[in-house]
Structure 1
Amino acid sequence: MEEYVVLVNPKDEVLGLMEKQQAHINGLLHRAFSVFLFNDNGEMLLQKRASAKYHSPNQWTNAVCSHPRDGENYLDGAKRRVKEELGIEAELSEKFNFIYKADVGGGLWEHELDYVFTGSYNSEFNLNQDEVEEVRYISMENLDKEITENPEKFTEWFKIILEEYKHHF
């Protein structure tokens, strides 16, 4: 099944729909969301993207990042993907939004109006292996160290969103 993204202008006004991979090839601005989940120890959940993903396979990133469907709001899209990828339900709250553009290799670009949500989760996961290879929690201190020492192991957009997140908190 083809997936479509919602193309927007910087004011989040809808311009139309485009097949997801084509939008990433063309580097067109589209709607997205990113979810940061934390456990009771304040550690951030990371997911390792599945090896079959068409871009950024086997790289670590935030708990969930994806795109709302046409007619779906950002929060509902985020909750849907948390369930589809991690097999869980979590209460999420919107923290901020911003626009970024990142070269993700292979002639593909992430150019997104990204709404960032946070939540907490402290139980088991039921991972969708088509999406997620594995998950782990990490302290912010150790995360910063890992990204500095091995930036290639993390998605380009996660590094950008993480820096933006730090500016807000």
Structure 2
Amino acid sequence: MHEEWMVQVDDTDQPLARVLRSQFAFGRDIHRTTFIFVLDSQHRLCVQTRSPHKGYCPGLRDLAAGGVVDWQESYLDSAKRELAEELGIEAPLVLMGKFRHKSAGNYSFATVYGCRHDGPISPQDDEVTGYEWLALDKVLASPGPAFTPDSLDAFGRFKGFLPYL
């Protein structure tokens, strides 16, 4: 099995160490992550349901594609990789901003991107078990499993920018 390397950063997002993902202290040490909000031409957001086998927030809904930035990978390259891995999408990405997030099991610097996509979606089974398109003004009121705390934080910070993608 391939072991993933990631970067531990300080509270200003400067690299501190190269760490095996399996040995990283999630929730205590700070890492880098990306979020990619995917909207269609009808201004609907693609909301995914995470696989029950994921280590972080299994079975919850995710408001964005994304994930942990690998060692020596840029935020942008990570976002492109995660979008392709999770949803099978290649699309031009628009940088929306950056923030720091802290919740149980997650302490990270996150860079947020957005894209428009009306083509097919091919979710990766071990990442995503399903997806739905939700109107931006109805996302938070939609029935179903809870949202991941980090994607909910990102959505709260950047939802005002989403219609302008």
Q: TM-score, normalised by structure 2?
A: 0.88
Aligned to 1:92: 93
Name the SS of the counterpart of 1:115 in structure 2.
strand
CA shift in 2, pair 1:25/1:95, >3 Å: closer
Deviates more, 1:91-100 or 1:22-31: 22-31
2-structure distance, mates of 1:167, 1:30: 26
Q: CA–CA distance in 2 between the matches of 1:88 and 1:159?
A: 22
Number of residue pairs aligned between Structure 1 and Structure 2: 161
Cα separation, partners in 2 of 1:110 and 1:26, compared to 1, 3 Å? closer
- Equivalent position of 2:71 in the other structure: 70
Give the SS at the match of 1:11.
Answer: coil
2:147 to 134, 138, 154: 154
Deviation at 1:5, TM superposition (A): 2.2
CA displacement 1:82-135 (0-9 Å, x = unmatched): 1111112111111100101011xxxxx110100000001001112110111011
1:135-160 CA distances to partner (integer Å, 9 max, x unpaired)? Answer: 111012211213xx76x621111221
Distance 1:111 1:75, change over 3 A: same
CA contact (8 A) 2:5 2:70 kept: yes
| RMSD, matched Cα | 1.8
Q: Percent identity?
A: 24
Is it true that 1:113 corresponds to 2:114 in the alignment?
Answer: no
Matches within 5 A, 1:23-38: 23-25=24-26, 27-38=28-39
| Matches of 1:110 and 1:7, distance apart in 2 | 12
Instruction: Tell whether the 8 Å contact from 2:27 to 2:103 is kept in structure 1 after alignment.
Output: no
Closer, same or farther in 2 for the Cα pair 1:167/1:101, shift >3 Å?
farther
Q: For residue 121 of structure 2, what is the aligned residue in structure 1? A: 125
**Separation in 2 of the partners of 1:41 and 1:168?**
15
Q: Tell whether the 8 Å contact from 1:127 to 1:134 is kept in structure 2 after alignment.
A: yes
Cα distance, 1:55–1:65 mapped onto 2, change above 3 Å: same
In 2: Cα distance, 1:127 partner to 1:138 partner: 17
Unaligned runs of 5+ in 2: none
1:80 corresponds to 2:73? no
1:61 is matched with 62
Structure that is richer in helix per residue: 1
Which 5+ residue runs of structure 1 have no aligned equivalent? 104-108
Pick the aligned partner of 2:136 from 125, 137, 140: 140
1:69–1:77 contact (8 Å) kept in structure 2? yes
Whether the aligned pair in 2 keeps the contact of 1:24 and 1:111 (CA below 8 Å) is: no
Query: What CA distance in whole angstroms lies between the structure 2 residues aligned with 1:125 and 1:24?
Result: 33
